[in-house]
Structure 1
Amino acid sequence: MLALGTLNTLTVKKQVKFGYYLDGLSWGEILLPNNVAPANLEIGQELNVFLYLDSEDQLIATTERPRIMVGQVAMLPVVAITKVGAFLNWGVKKDLLVPFSEQQIPLKEGQHYLVYCYVDLSNRIVASTKLDRHIHKTPANYQIGDKVAIIVSEQTDLGYKVVIEHQHWGVLYKNEVFKPLRRGDKLTAYVMKVRDDGKIDLRLVSTTHKQAQELTDKVLYKLKQNGGKLALTDKSSPEQIYDAFGVSKKAFKQAIGALYKEKKIVITEQGLILVPEQTTP
């Protein structure tokens, strides 16, 4: 089944002076212009192409990969404002339209905006900055611990509101973030909890039992390497902790808490102290 605004695998049907025609099945023949066709393309060869509408609203194929496809979210720059809306550079010849009705605030040329791409009722590929109209419209089928791709949407009092896998809203809490984030940043995160309202709580570091054990082992190893002392505590900054161990402050506090309960370390205001191993006579 072919889909507009996405990648499709089509077969080369014939060559003409200005390009190649691909077999679009029920959609008919679809032009792949010479300037985006691979060298030495042969009849019968299968090709992965992006389908969109050109400036005359004719279906056309390209081997160029756009910065956004239908059903996705991306940060894109405005290159023009016209009487029909704003146009974004999305990496293919014809710019991507954001109609005035799909602008949360009036867009400005030269600025970047986080947008969602979709096919409207008139069969046009367009974009919207009104993400709530399009995000979180399907059930969130995530399990605790799932690894997901996220894009930062905005900073809030709780932390950061993010888009998960282009389709759902999630939250990164302040205590799970150890570096400044900006709108449009792409990151990997892990599912902590799926709430009753369907929103998803996330963290940037996975905390499986195995990884928690690996972190406590790392803390002990670093203590031994530093003569039994380490100038880090549960009061240290998230940046200091991340520089030392590559984890969030919350994960570090859990690790040293476990070591303290096992009486392997002492936590002082100056840092951690390794408890000498006891030997039985």
Structure 2
Amino acid sequence: MINIGQYQTLTILRETDPGLFLGDGEKEQNEILLPHKYKPETYEIGDKIEVFVYLDNEERPIATTLEPYVTLNEFAYLQCSDVTKYGAFMDWGLEKQLFVPFKEQARPMTAGNWYIIYLYLDEKTDRLVGSSKTNCFVDNSTVTVEKYEKVDILVTHLTEKGANVIVNGKHHGLIYIDDIFEDIRTGDRLKAYVKKVREDNKIDIVLQAPGYRSIEPNANYILDELKAAGGFLPLHDKSDPETIKNELGLSKKSFKKAIGSLYKDKQIVIKSDGIELV
């Protein structure tokens, strides 16, 4: 079966004037055209080839070796190329741009601006369509992550409260402003950790492994910073939290845990004016 909006490995069946015809190997062979401009430099009939399948300008299924910025049922941060009386069109890395109808725009789109987009298949038209109404495609009714789990996040927007994120492409999460110690922006894809799953299924996310799990990597990070600074840093357990955040990108709590671990292992000395390598 040839599926729209997905990567597939197909077999080269024959070569024609328009390009290579590929098949899916099913009993009733389904075929699709790979235009000549996308064919590999060397190939033989019967070779396997990985392609992405979408609809061309005449709404016919077609294969390409170009790599789209988003595939079916996924989120991506895309730039709006044009807005017409029909809707908006997004650059998603392919010749034919991705259509976002007005009804699928969380707010009116403007050419040149960037938006978080979800790619889905319209069941009525069998066309690939984009939507910036991302909340319609995330669900926290059944949470599939747990405390301390490492997850993939996509930053959707920043507020005074913190950074709203999509967790593992499925759930909505939030990084509270007090837990942000680095520069993050809308569209960033990052590795993060589940700090807490609340009773109402809201998910708190942090960028560093929470609790004791973050002590070792933070301790190693501080050791590297100490070595780079010649063995001494003018920071200690009484330092101002903002100073620690600006210098190391760590919360004071994480910093104290890390230097406590280093002190216990006799790797540093904590002085009145800073920390020093032993």
Q: What TM-score results when the alignment is normalised by the length of structure 2?
A: 0.83
Match of residue 84 from structure 1: 86
**One-letter amino acid of the structure 2 residue matched with residue 205 of structure 1:** Q
Q: Which moved more, 1:229-238 or 1:167-176?
A: 229-238
Aligned runs of 1:125-164 on 2, under 5 Å?
A: 125-136=128-139, 139-164=142-167
1:148 partner SS: strand
**One-letter amino acid of the structure 2 residue matched with residue 21 of structure 1:** F
Match for residue 69 of structure 2 among 67, 70, 73: 67
Distance in 2 separating the partners of 1:137 and 1:118: 19
**One-letter amino acid of the structure 2 residue matched with residue 86 of structure 1:** A
* Deviation by residue 1:148-195 (Cα, 9 ceiling, x = unmatched): 221111112321001122222111122221123221122211122222
Match for residue 104 of structure 2 among 102, 106, 109: 102
Among all aligned residue pairs of Structure 1 and Structure 2, give the percentage whose two residues are the same amino acid.
35
Deviation of the 1:138 alpha carbon: 7.2
Aligned runs of 1:109-258 on 2, under 5 Å?
A: 109-121=111-123, 122-136=125-139, 139-207=142-210, 209=212, 211-213=214-216, 215-216=218-219, 222=226, 230-232=234-236, 233=239, 235=241, 236-242=243-249, 247-256=250-259
**One-letter amino acid of the structure 1 residue matched with residue 127 of structure 2:** R
Q: 1:11 to 1:140 in 2, by over 3 A?
A: farther
Runs of 4+ in 1 over 6 A off after TM superposition: 225-229, 258-265
Deviation of the 1:106 alpha carbon: 1.0
**One-letter amino acid of the structure 2 residue matched with residue 31 of structure 1:** L
Report how many aligned residue pairs link the two structures. 269
Distance in 1 separating the partners of 2:151 and 2:140: 18
Distance in 2 separating the partners of 1:32 and 1:220: 54
**One-letter amino acid of the structure 2 residue matched with residue 231 of structure 1:** L
Deviation of the 1:84 alpha carbon: 1.7
* Deviation by residue 1:97-125 (Cα, 9 ceiling, x = unmatched): 00010011111112111111111122110
Deviation of the 1:43 alpha carbon: 1.3
Deviation of the 1:60 alpha carbon: 0.5
Q: Which moved more, 1:22-31 or 1:257-266?
A: 257-266
Q: Which moved more, 1:247-256 or 1:125-134?
A: 247-256
**One-letter amino acid of the structure 2 residue matched with residue 51 of structure 1:** V
Deviation of the 1:137 alpha carbon: 6.6
* Deviation by residue 1:120-148 (Cα, 9 ceiling, x = unmatched): 12211011111111122773311333222
